[in-house]
Amino acid sequence: MRKRKTLPSTAVKETVYTYTVLFEPAAEGGYTVTVPMLPGVLTVGYTVEVARARATEAIRGHIKVLRKYRQPIPQERATALRRPITERLRIAVPA
């Protein structure tokens, strides 16, 4: 019986980032997703699951671009993970 050669395993190094993601119902249906710590990251999805998957890909792509151009990658502090305050403001604008 012949012995099978085993290749040395190459561990993939990963850095795990955690960001607060906001899912806002869109007027036309579905959700608009933003990431407060990563301005410019915006995506949409017709379900929360689709929106979450697209947000994950958008964040991953944003981080890759930041790395490519050697820009700092924003990281949330524990205090930044508090719940956002949501309220409705009524604004009067002179005609």
Predicted TM-score (pTM) of the model is: 0.74
User: Which two structure tokens, joined as six digits, stand for 15?
Assistant: 């850095």
CB 37 within 8 A of CB 59: no
The predicted-structure confidence for 46-91, as pLDDT tens digits, reads as follows 999 999 999 999 999 999 999 999 999 998 876 655 677 777 888 8
The pLDDT, as a whole number, for residue 76 is 84
The pLDDT, as a whole number, for residue 81 is 58
- The pairing of strands 22-25 and 31-34 is antiparallel
Q: What are the residues whose beta carbons fall under 8 Å from the beta carbon of 84, sequence distance 6 or more?
A: 20, 22, 36
Per-residue CA distances from 18 to 15, 60, 95 (Å): 10, 11, 45
